[in-house]
């Protein structure tokens, strides 16, 4: 693929029909070839700007395994993947459980979810297939539908072949804008030797930690007054999946590998029971701990702070997300919080990920259970204090 062009891949079935605006139906292969010509004819400043891969023009390969590997290789190499979903998962190797269309989407979502756009031609533009699927194919299609349903991916719905082409063009323009903006942000990363990142680096640990936590609080709750006040900080309550959640903000003012910086945060969830009164007053559950990290953070470091390895841990774009399914402790580590902009952007990406990954519902559910645990601990401690006072 040429290095000076934007590589686009169209993933779909080829020989399945789609409703034609002119009447009757056409094959998806026809739509793919038409959109390929339209995309490659588009130019920026009169220069060739796009190349679009569809396998219709590829030479014949020696076997199905070669074709499968070729398709997945193009998924990895392309800059933008546009999926035309018609409910058909595609062929599989031998008696495989996953079709090629399903595999292509999974590969892209795992490696670069931001480059994926989905056009649904099943709901409004589908045409009954001329041949019934066998049981294995039907099972693959069901798995594909279930997978797509769990991804919380935004979809557009095409009514016919022309509508599909128009929506592909809109999706391509949207993807280009999003990826350029993301690339612009990424190019600013690493320039930490001047400007505000340098100012933050000049601060000592205590001042840097306080500054990072202030930015977190201002972004989460801009309506709170006097965020830099020396008075007791007001609780931050946010609505997640229609549930009020208490957010506790922390900051590691250096690398997570630096013990003295890491110990300034400690294990904040050990004091969750101390927040019970403010959660009850605010009609909130939780708490949820948001930890800004001045530099990077790894899964191992996050689990080490949690204290045990048996937990849900993922590595989203903002850093590390940890959720303990037993004690319902929840932590989000925001990596690379070098200045105000990068810190706010990390919080923004955390918010976006919660809903795009469908995690908001689980976060709210765990927060409710964590509140119940915190209440029990608080009640037990209060009982111990009462008995101690009576015995004295």
CATH of the domain at 67: 3.40.50.450
pLDDT of residue 2: 42
Q: Is residue 244 left, alpha or beta, with left meaning phi > 0 and alpha meaning psi from -120 to 50? A: beta
DSSP state letter for 211: H
Q: Give me the helices (H) in the chain, please.
A: 28-41, 64-77, 100-111, 135-150, 161-188, 195-202, 205-220, 259-262, 276-282, 299-306, 340-356, 360-391
Which pLDDT value is given to residue 132?
47
CA–CA separation, 15 and 77 (whole Å): 25
Q: Does 210 lie in the same domain as 174?
A: no
Both 172 and 24 in one domain: the answer is yes
Q: Kindly state whether residue 80 falls inside one of the protein's structural domains.
A: yes
One domain, residues 95 and 239: no
Q: CB under 8 Å to 337, separation ≥6 — which residues?
A: 212, 215, 251, 292, 293, 294, 343, 346
201 and 156 co-located in one domain: no
pLDDT at 38: 93
Task: Report residue 368 CA to chain centroid gap.
Answer: 23
Report the distance separating Cα 185 and Cα 168, nearest Å: 26
Question: Could you list the pLDDT tens digit for every one of the 392 residues in the chain?
Answer: 445 889 999 999 888 899 999 988 899 999 999 999 999 999 888 888 999 988 766 655 445 556 778 888 888 889 999 999 998 888 876 556 788 899 898 888 877 888 899 999 988 787 765 454 577 788 888 888 888 876 656 788 999 999 999 999 999 999 898 888 777 665 555 566 667 788 899 999 999 999 999 999 988 887 665 444 434 577 899 999 899 999 999 999 999 999 999 999 999 999 999 999 999 999 999 999 999 999 999 999 999 999 989 999 999 889 999 999 999 999 999 999 998 888 888 898 898 889 888 899 999 999 999 999 999 999 998 876 666 655 65
Q: Are residues 165 and 238 in the same domain?
A: no
Q: Flag whether 92 is in a domain.
A: yes
The SS3 of residue 91 is coil
Q: Residue 328 — left, alpha, or beta (φ > 0 → left; ψ -120 to 50 → alpha)?
A: left
- What tokens appear for 28 in the block? 């998806």
- Dump pLDDT digits (tens) for 183-210: 766 555 556 666 778 889 999 999 999 9
The answer to whether residue 318 sits within a structural domain is: yes
- The CA distances from residue 348 to 195, 313, 317, 344, in Å, are 22, 20, 11, 6
Residue 39 sits in which domain range?
6-187
Assess whether 98 and 46 both reside in one domain: yes
pLDDT at position 377: 94
Residue 315 lies inside a defined structural domain of this protein: yes
Say what the pLDDT of residue 127 is.
73
List the Cα angle 296/301/306 in 5-degree steps: 130
Shared domain for 253 and 132, answered yes or no, is no
Coil/strand/helix, residue 171: helix
- Looking at residue 96, what is its pLDDT? 64
289 shares a domain with 358: yes
Distance (Å, whole) CA 100 – CA 279: 49
Round to whole Å and give the CA distance between 308 and 304.
7
Domain count, the chain: 2
In a domain, 350, yes or no: yes
Tell me how far apart the alpha carbons of residues 119 and 124 are, in angstroms, rounded to a whole number: 11
pLDDT given for residue 184 in this prediction = 65
pLDDT (tens digit per residue) in 91-114: 876 556 788 899 898 888 877 888
Q: What is the pLDDT of residue 143?
A: 85
Give yes or no: residues 147 and 35 share one domain: yes
Q: Which of 305, 312, 291, 287 is nearest to 375 (CA)?
A: 287
Measured CA to CA, the distance from residue 287 to residue 266 in angstroms comes to: 16
| Residue 369 domain-assigned (yes or no) | yes
Angle of helix 360-391 versus helix 340-356 axis, rounded to 10: 110
Q: Both 178 and 247 in a single domain?
A: no
In this structure, the chain runs to a length of 392
Task: Let me know if residue 389 belongs to a domain.
Answer: no
Query: Quick one: pLDDT at residue 312?
Result: 93
Q: Is residue 178 part of a domain?
A: yes
* Residues 176 and 244 reside in one and the same domain: no
- Comparing CA positions, the residue from 120, 39, 28 lying closest to residue 80 is 39
Q: Six-digit token pair at 243?
A: 């549930």
Cβ(84)–Cβ(119) below 8 Å: yes
CA separation for the pair 367, 372 (Å, rounded): 9
Same domain for 237 and 110? Answer: no
Q: In terms of pTM, does the model score above 0.85?
A: no
């Amino acid at each position: 693929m040429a290095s000076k062009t934007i590589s686009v891949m169209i993933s779909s079935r080829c020989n399945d029909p789609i409703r034609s605006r002119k009447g009757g139906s056409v094959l998806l292969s026809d739509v793919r070839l038409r959109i390929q010509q339209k995309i490659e004819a588009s130019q920026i400043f009169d220069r060739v700007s796009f190349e679009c891969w569809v396998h219709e023009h590829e030479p014949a390969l020696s076997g199905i395994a070669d074709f499968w590997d070729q398709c997945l290789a193009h998924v990895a190499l392309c800059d933008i993947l546009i999926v035309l979903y018609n409910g058909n998962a595609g062929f599989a190797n031998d008696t495989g459980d996953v079709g090629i269309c399903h595999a292509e989407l999974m590969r892209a979502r795992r490696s670069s979810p931001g480059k994926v756009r989905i056009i649904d031609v099943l709901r409004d533009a589908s045409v009954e297939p001329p041949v019934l699927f066998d049981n294995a194919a039907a099972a693959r299609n069901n798995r594909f539908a279930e997978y797509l349903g769990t991804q919380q991916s935004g979809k557009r719905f095409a009514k016919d072949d022309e509508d599909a082409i128009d929506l592909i063009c809109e999706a391509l323009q949207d993807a280009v804008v999003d990826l350029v903006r993301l690339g612009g942000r990424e190019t600013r990363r690493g320039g930490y030797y001047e400007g505000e990142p340098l100012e933050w680096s000049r601060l000592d640990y205590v001042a840097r930690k306080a500054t990072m936590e202030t930015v977190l609080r201002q972004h989460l709750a801009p309506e709170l007054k006097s965020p830099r006040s020396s008075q007791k900080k007001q609780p931050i309550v946010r609505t997640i999946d229609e549930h009020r959640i208490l957010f506790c903000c922390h900051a590691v003012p250096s690398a997570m590998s630096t013990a003295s910086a890491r110990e300034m945060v400690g294990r904040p969830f050990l004091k969750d029971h101390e927040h019970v009164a403010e959660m009850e007053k605010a009609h909130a559950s939780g708490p949820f701990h948001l930890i800004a990290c001045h530099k990077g953070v790894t899964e191992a470091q996050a689990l080490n702070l949690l204290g045990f390895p048996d937990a849900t841990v993922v590595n989203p774009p903002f850093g590390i997300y940890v959720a303990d399914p037993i004690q319902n402790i929840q932590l989000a580590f925001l990596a690379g919080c070098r200045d105000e902009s990068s810190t706010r952007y990390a919080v923004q990406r955390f918010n976006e990920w919660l809903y795009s990954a469908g995690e908001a519902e689980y976060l709210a559910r765990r927060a409710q259970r964590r509140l119940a645990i915190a209440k029990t601990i608080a009640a037990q401690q209060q009982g111990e204090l009462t008995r101690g006072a009576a015995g004295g």
